[in-house]
Amino acid sequence: MNYPQPPDASSRRPSDSASDGPHAGSDGASERLSDDGSGRPYVMPWQVPHPGSAAGRRNRVFPPSTPTIHTLASVITGVAVVCALYFGRAVLIPITLSVLLSFLLAPLVNTLRRVRLPEFLSILIAVLATVLALAGVSALIGAQIVQLAADLPQYQEEIEQKVQTVQEKTVGRADSLMTRAAVALQRVTPTPPPAPPQPRGRAARNQPQQPMPVEVHTPAPTPLQLAQRAFSPVIAPLETGFIVLVVTIFILLQREDLRDRLISVFGSDDLHRTTTAINDASERLSRYFVAQLGVNVSVGAVLAIGLAGIGVPGALLFGALAALLRFVPYIGIWIAAVLATLLAAAIQPQWTMAVWTLIFFIVVDVVAGQFAEPMLYGRRSGLSPLAVVVAAIFWSWLWGPIGLVLSTPLTLCIVTLGRYVDRLNFLTILLGDQPALTPAQTCYQRLLADDPHEALLQADRLLNEMPLIDYYEQVVFEGLRFARNDVLRGVLPAEQIARINQALLDIVEDLESVDDSRHTRNGNGNGHGSNGGRKQDATELTPELRAEIPDDGRALLCVPGRGAFDDVAVAVVCQLLGRAKIPSTATTYEEVRATRAGMVDAQTAAICVVSLDAAESPPYLRNLVRRLRERAPDASIVVGVRAVRRDEGMSIADDARTQLAPTLRDLVDACGVALAQRQG
């Protein structure tokens, strides 16, 4: 395919705007606002100064907005919230545990309510079941700890031997190296001067006397003090647990009332949005917590059974620890794996048990993460991997070990809240796992960073999900519109425009041989009749229309506009026409504009004008279509892409034989119809 090469931006002549049409001010469209959300007047293509001229060299980038009082208030609010979380953790931790526990118990309470049990009885049964389960797990963990502590003296010899071996391999070698270095340094160090003689006689008697040492002995603790020391570590968790259970019961009893109060506080003006946000958050979090709890308990049970089979002591302890720490994705289970592996390595002279323990942890985590979790609640938790690690560090700093366990649920609550609160949307962008940029923005950013390889890799990934014509329409052309807006603002130099054009042409050439057969469309849906229900390629024409295209060698002529990226658009259109078996040839705007050019004459079959400026219908493009009509009065002219229809205002041409194509699919079909009409 003969793709036109991108002309150097410096080759654009300043006289083009004067010869192509009237001044933009006479057209009445220069006062429209731009569509980039900035609120600035839209700059038409013919109003952009030549990049090499004095006006084009001026920096036309608008200055960034200065920080407002709202930004300062947001920063102060964030600092105040973090301080409140840190200093109020004694009160906030039980409340947070109660809220999360209510999310976990809500499905069980709803199930009991469906069997016609009273509300209070359903809540009481759910809470009692939770208390019994926690008491059983705590008793099991305590028994395992006591048994492991009692068995450790039996492994004292193996542990000492293993520690000695590790010390010889690591600390011993380092100590030997440091000793050699000290000896070598002592050899080159000069001998220090001798110490002064000790005073004797009268001088010794005049020396100050050393103070008498004093020892302080604390009295022996009383039995009451011993009891307080023994039970104080247990009283605090029991007190916190009691508060959590009481608050959970009241939250479950007052669910509807609390929901109404939240709606009244945060969004009584927009009941639909607030209700949707609360329902989505509660359902999403409840479903996630229940599924995560089920997976974690299953993983802990499998690990306990497997470790017991391997022979690791305290298998139930490590299984329960893994189930608890697995609430921290990516890193939680490996904390338990490291502890179990260290114990297995310490109690056995060989390394066999430690190796099998580590392998077993890896296999169980891979099976749970790649098969069990995707089937239950999707492959993703809604958080990016980096956000999970950062959240674990942040909440551990705020609330200690409890914050480490609650880091993922709390962060997931914040991300879900940010989807509905505009001022917290940045948290969803920073912490969520959704792409921060659209595919079109990503494509344009890779081109701006002069990284066409990444842009081509993105194209390969997207082409597994969409046809080539949709990739060009939704990604490449949308990215070119971002680039076009930057050109109109004057922020892209001529050299960068040329590099972007060349990179895009290379990408288009690399995508020439893409197999698009897996993305098919029905022949009934293209607007040109039926082909018996046969599936066809996304750019393939119907057999009826294909039979009407002439085979006399005459090709459709593709003409670009004057825009900075119109030559790339022509290359894309020529490739799509070739895949649709429509003969085409490409030219340049300068060749068509020259009066002596012989490519356009009365024998031209059909002409396709491709420009990203078609949506604005600039005067130069209307003049181009008018000149093409004068040179080829009988040719069918197709103008795209995103051309303005006649019923939407100012059009490129009022000629009935000039067709407007708003999309690439319409453009390919219209070109086939144009050649078929010329044959008729």
Which tens digits make up the pLDDT trace of 180-197?
777 777 776 666 666 666
Of 128-132, 204-208, 504-508, 520-524, the least confident:
520-524
Distance from CA of residue 534 to its chain's centroid?
39
By DSSP bridging, strand 606-610 and strand 584-586 are unpaired
The answer to whether residues 561 and 675 belong to one domain is yes
Is position 474 within any domain? yes
Q: At what angle do helices 332-346 and 271-310 cross, to 10 degrees?
A: 10
Beta pairing partners, 661: 640
Is position 580 within any domain? yes
Structure tokens at 206: 């005049």
Nearest Cα to Cα of residue 592 among 53, 7, 45: 7
Which of 15-24, 188-197, 553-562 is predicted most confidently?
553-562
Q: Give the Cα separation of 260 and 265 in Å (integer).
A: 9
Q: Give the Cα separation of 508 and 523 in Å (integer).
A: 26
Is position 648 within any domain? yes
Angle among Cα 372, 377, 383 to the nearest 5 degrees reads 110
Per the model's pLDDT, the better-predicted residue between 54 and 366 turns out to be 366
pLDDT at residue 680 tops 80: no
CATH number, residue 565: 3.40.50.280
Listed residues 470, 497, 514: the one ending a domain: 514
The answer to whether residues 619 and 561 belong to one domain is yes
- Around Cβ 678, how many Cβ atoms within 10 Å? 18
Tally the domains of the chain: 2
Q: What's the whole-number mean pLDDT along residues 41-65?
A: 42
The answer to whether residues 642 and 572 belong to one domain is yes
The answer to whether residues 623 and 553 belong to one domain is yes
The answer to whether residues 505 and 446 belong to one domain is yes
**DSSP letter assigned to residue 33:** B
Is position 312 within any domain? no
Q: Over the stretch 101-127, which tens digit does the pLDDT of each residue have?
A: 888 888 888 888 888 888 889 999 999
Q: Which pLDDT value is given to residue 21? A: 40
Is position 159 within any domain? no
Task: Give the CA-trace dihedral at 569, 574, 575, 577, to 10 degrees.
Answer: 120
The answer to whether residues 617 and 671 belong to one domain is yes
Is position 561 within any domain? yes
The answer to whether residues 555 and 636 belong to one domain is yes
Is position 481 within any domain? yes
Q: Which domain holds residue 635?
A: 549-679
Q: What's the whole-number mean pLDDT along residues 274-293?
A: 76
pLDDT at residue 203 tops 50: yes
The answer to whether residues 573 and 626 belong to one domain is yes
Q: What's the whole-number mean pLDDT along residues 70-86?
A: 86
Listed residues 497, 514, 531: the one ending a domain: 514
Q: Which pLDDT value is given to residue 36? A: 43
Q: Give the Cα separation of 582 and 68 in Å (integer).
A: 57
pLDDT at residue 481 tops 70: yes
Nearest Cα to Cα of residue 606 among 542, 660, 676: 676
Residue whose token pair is 């004067």: 18
Question: If you write DSSP's letter for every residue of 493-524 in order, what string do you get?
Answer: -HHHHHHHHHHHHHHHHHGGG---TTSEEEGG
Mean pLDDT, the chain, rounded, equals 76
Q: Over the stretch 212-235, which tens digit does the pLDDT of each residue have?
A: 777 777 777 777 777 777 777 777
Per the model's pLDDT, the better-predicted residue between 446 and 526 turns out to be 446
Is position 575 within any domain? yes
How sure is the predictor about 35, in pLDDT bands with cuts at 50, 70 and 90?
very low
- Report the SS3 class of residue 662: coil
pTM: 0.61
The answer to whether residues 558 and 629 belong to one domain is yes
Helices and strands (H and E) in the chain: how many: 27, 7
How sure is the predictor about 477, in pLDDT bands with cuts at 50, 70 and 90?
very high
The answer to whether residues 495 and 582 belong to one domain is no
Listed residues 514, 534, 567: the one ending a domain: 514
pLDDT at residue 443 tops 50: yes
Q: What's the whole-number mean pLDDT along residues 30-36?
A: 40
The answer to whether residues 669 and 561 belong to one domain is yes
Q: Give the Cα separation of 5 and 584 in Å (integer).
A: 16
Q: Alpha helix (H) ranges present in 311-384?
A: 315-325, 332-346, 352-367, 373-377
Which of 45-59, 237-251, 489-503, 602-616 is predicted most confidently?
489-503
pLDDT at residue 620 tops 50: yes
pLDDT at residue 25 tops 50: no
Q: Which pLDDT value is given to residue 598? A: 54
pLDDT at residue 627 tops 60: yes
